[in-house]
A and B are shown apart, each in its own frame.
Chain A
Amino acid sequence: MARMLRIVAAIGLGAWVALALARCGAPQPASGTEPPPAVSIQQKGSDTLVNLALAWAEEYMRLHPEVRISVTGGGSGTGIAALINGTVDIANASREMKPEEIAEAQKNGYTPHEHIVAWDAIAVVVHPSNPVDGLTLQQVSDIYTGKITNWRQVGGEDRPIVLLSRESNSGTYVYFLEHVVRLGDPKSDALFSPDTLLMPSSEGISAEVRQNPNAIGYDGLGYVTPDQKTLAIARDANGPFVLPSAETVNNGTYPIARPLYMYTVGEPSPHVRAYLDWVLGDGQRLVAGVGFVPLKQSPTGGSAAP
C-alpha cells in the first residue's frame, strides 16, 4: 500500500512538474511574487528507480525551492542515451553503463561518472512456521518455474508450495525473473510457472505469506515485515547461506541485490553536485521508505519499515 501511495504521489508530482515546466516554457509568465526557479535539473532513466528519484526530488525541492527537478522513467537505456546526447543532467540506471555506451559518451566528449545511490535487494519470504531456513538460487529458480512443487523436496514439510509474485508490471518482478528465475542467463527463456499467484501489491504478498504455511513470496527488502520469515540465500550448494540485511547487501554477499546508479557526465554543475551530495548523504533516510536499502553509512539504515 505504501508503494501505491507513493505512485499516486509520484503521478501528482509528475503532473505538477509538467505544469511547472510548461509555465517556465511560456514566454514571460506573469508569475506574481514567486521568483522563477533559478536552476532546473533533468533526470531520466530506470523505472525501478523512478519512485525513489521522485521521493528525493520532492524532498529536495521542498528544502531548496529555487531548484526544479524533473524525473521521468522510460528505462535505464533511455536515460543513458539521453545523457549521452546531453539532454539530461542525470541518468538513473538500475544497471552499470555498458562499455559501448561509455565509448559513445566519450566520442561526444563526455566522461561518465558513476554514483551508487542505493541498493535494491529482494528478500525471499515464507510463513514463520516453515522449517526451511535457506535455499540456493537454483532451488528458488526451480520452485518458481514449477520444477519443485513440494516443500519436502527442499528439506521442509510435506506441503505443496504456493508461489507468490508481484504483478508483471513491477520492476521487482522483472529483476527477480532475470536474476533468480533465469539465474542471470540472458539466453534463458524460463518463465514463472503459470500457477504463480500474481499479487497486485506488497500487502497482498505479505497477507498471504503471514497466514499460509505453504506460501513462498518475494519482495523488496524494505517491504518485508517482521511477521514473515526471511530465507537465507546461497549462490550455490557450497556457498554460504546469507540473510539479507543492510550489511550483507552493501558488502555484496547477499546474492539477490543490485546497486542502483545515477550517472552524470563531465564536471557536474554545482547544483547537480549539491543535489548528488544530498542524495548520498541526508537523502539516504528516504530510501527505506520506498523499499530499497540505503548505502552503508547510515547506522540505522536497512531495517524493515515498521
Chain B
Amino acid sequence: MKQKPHLRWVEFAIESLIRVIGFSTVGFVILIFLFLLREGLPAFAQIDLGNLFGTRWYPTFGLFGTLPLILGSVLITISAIVIALPLGVATAVFIREVAPNWAREILKPMIEVLAGIPSVVLGFFGMTLVAPIVRETFGAPTGLVAFTGALILAYMSLPTIISVAEDALDAVPKMYRDAGLAMGATQWQTIWRVVVPAARSGIVTAVMLGMGRAIGETMAVMMVTGNAARMPLGLDALFRPVRTMTATVAAEMGEVAHGSVHYHVLFAIGIILFVITFLINLAAASTMFRKRRRGGLR
C-alpha cells in the first residue's frame, strides 16, 4: 500500500527529531567533558604534580594533595560493593528463582521505591541513626567514618545491582534450569551451579553499574563520612573518617574564587572522577555486550 506523501514527510521529521535527541545526549557528554578539561587542565600547569598528588589537602593554604580524596572515594566504594554484592545477588536470586509470584509482584516495585529515596534523606538517616550505632558497636571514636558511608552507599547501590542482576538471571534460558533439575540436582544446586554462573557477565555488569552509582554519590557521603582529608591507610582506615572527591567538590565549590588555583583543582578532581566512572561504565558495557557464551558452563 502506498503512503500519502504528507505522512511520509511527518514520519521523516519525527525520525530526524528522535535521531537528533539521541545524538545530542552523546554531544552533551562530550561538551561536559570539554568543559571539565577547560576548567580543570590549568590546575595541572599551575601547581606541580608532587603537590597535586600529595597527601595533604589544605586548599586554603596552597596544599592540594588529592591522594587522600581519591583513596577515600576508592575505599568507601569498594567497601560498599563488598557489602552490597552478596545482598544484591541473593535478593535477585530470591526474586527471580525462589519467591512465589505474589511475593515477586510486591518486591519488585518496592525495590524501585528504594531507588527513589533522595540521598539527602539517607544522609540524614545515616548521620543521626546509623553513625551512633556504628560508634557504639565498633568502639570507634566517632560514627562518622568510612564504614558508615559504605553502609549507606551499599544501600543506595542495591536497587541498581538487584534489578540488573535480576534481568541477567531472567535471560538465562529456562531449559538450563530444566536440564539441571532433570539431572537430579536440587533447586539450590541448580541455582548456584547452573543459573548464577550462566548469568555471570550480567552480574558483573550489575556490580560495575552499582560501583558507578556509589563513587559518584555526594550528599549522603558528605553527611556521614566526617570529611577528614586523612590518608585512609592502615587496618583501622574503615573506622576512621575519610573525605571523598565528590564531597570535596560539593563542599568547596560554592565559595571558591572563580578562576583561582583552588577552583581549577576542584575541576581537576572532576576530571579524575569522570575518568574513573567512565572506565567503570566502559568495563560494564564491555561485559554486557560480550557475546554470551553458550554451553561454556562449568
The SS class assigned to the A binding surface is loop
The yes or no answer to B241 lying at the interface (CB within 8 A) is: yes
Cβ–Cβ contact B60 & A174, under 8 A: yes
| Residues in B whose Cβ lies below 8 Å from that of A174 | 60
The yes or no answer to B276 lying at the interface (CB within 8 A) is: no
| Residues in B whose Cβ lies below 8 Å from that of A215 | 142
- Chain B 128-172 near chain A by CB (<8 Å), digits 1 or 0: 100110010000011110000000000000000000000000000
The yes or no answer to A207 lying at the interface (CB within 8 A) is: yes
The yes or no answer to A194 lying at the interface (CB within 8 A) is: yes
Interface of B with A (CB < 8 Å)? 56, 58-61, 68, 127-128, 131-132, 135, 141-144, 222-223, 226-231, 240-241, 243, 247, 250-252, 254-256
Cβ–Cβ contact B59 & A214, under 8 A: no
The yes or no answer to A211 lying at the interface (CB within 8 A) is: yes
A-B contact pairs, 24 of them (CB 8 A): A160-B141, A167-B252, A168-B59, A168-B60, A169-B256, A170-B255, A191-B58, A192-B58, A194-B68, A194-B230, A194-B231, A195-B230, A197-B142, A197-B144, A198-B227, A199-B227, A200-B227, A200-B250, A204-B127, A207-B128, A208-B131, A208-B144, A214-B141, A214-B142
- State how many angstroms separate the Cβ of B245 from the closest Cβ of chain A: 14
The yes or no answer to A111 lying at the interface (CB within 8 A) is: no
Cβ–Cβ contact A191 & B61, under 8 A: yes
- Chain A 1-19 near chain B by CB (<8 Å), digits 1 or 0: 0000001000000000000
In the complex, which residue of chain B has the Cβ closest to the Cβ of A75?
B257
| Residues in B whose Cβ lies below 8 Å from that of A189 | 61
Count of CB-CB pairs between chains A and B under 8 Å? 73
- Chain A 52-65 near chain B by CB (<8 Å), digits 1 or 0: 00000000000000
> Of B61, B127, B135, B251, which contacts A167 at CB under 8 A?
B251
Cβ–Cβ contact A200 & B58, under 8 A: no
> Please, how many angstroms separate the alpha-carbon atoms of A214 and B228 in the complex?
16
A207-B127 in contact given A191-B61, A197-B144, A200-B251 (Cβ < 8 Å): yes
- Chain A 196-220 near chain B by CB (<8 Å), digits 1 or 0: 1111100010011001101100000
| Residues in A whose Cβ lies below 8 Å from that of B58 | 168, 191-192
> Please, how many angstroms separate the alpha-carbon atoms of A181 and B132 in the complex?
28
In the complex, which residue of chain B has the Cβ closest to the Cβ of A191?
B58
The yes or no answer to A162 lying at the interface (CB within 8 A) is: yes
| Residues in B whose Cβ lies below 8 Å from that of A199 | 227
Interface of A with B (CB < 8 Å)? 7, 159-162, 167-170, 174, 189, 191-192, 194-200, 204, 207-208, 211-212, 214-215
Cβ–Cβ contact A212 & B228, under 8 A: no
- State how many angstroms separate the Cβ of B172 from the closest Cβ of chain A: 45
| Residues in B whose Cβ lies below 8 Å from that of A212 | 132, 135, 142-143
Cβ–Cβ contact B142 & A162, under 8 A: yes
> Please, how many angstroms separate the alpha-carbon atoms of A211 and B144 in the complex?
11
In the complex, which residue of chain B has the Cβ closest to the Cβ of A211?
B132
| Residues in A whose Cβ lies below 8 Å from that of B222 | 200
Cβ–Cβ contact B228 & A204, under 8 A: no
| Residues in B whose Cβ lies below 8 Å from that of A204 | 127, 223
> Of B131, B241, B250, which contacts A195 at CB under 8 A?
B241
Cβ–Cβ contact A198 & B127, under 8 A: no
Choose among B60, B250, B256 the residue with the greatest number of A CB atoms under 10 Å from its CB. B60
| Residues in B whose Cβ lies below 8 Å from that of A200 | 222-223, 227, 247, 250-251
Cβ–Cβ contact B252 & A169, under 8 A: yes
A197-B223 in contact given A168-B60, A168-B252, A191-B61 (Cβ < 8 Å): no
| Residues in A whose Cβ lies below 8 Å from that of B144 | 197, 208
In the complex, which residue of chain A has the Cβ closest to the Cβ of B65?
A194
Cβ–Cβ contact B229 & A169, under 8 A: no
- State how many angstroms separate the Cβ of B146 from the closest Cβ of chain A: 12
- State how many angstroms separate the Cβ of A177 from the closest Cβ of chain B: 8
- State how many angstroms separate the Cβ of B113 from the closest Cβ of chain A: 26
- State how many angstroms separate the Cβ of A224 from the closest Cβ of chain B: 18
| Residues in A whose Cβ lies below 8 Å from that of B227 | 167, 197-200
- State how many angstroms separate the Cβ of A5 from the closest Cβ of chain B: 14
| Residues in B whose Cβ lies below 8 Å from that of A169 | 251-252, 254-256
| Residues in B whose Cβ lies below 8 Å from that of A161 | 141
In the complex, which residue of chain A has the Cβ closest to the Cβ of B145?
A197
In the complex, which residue of chain B has the Cβ closest to the Cβ of A173?
B60
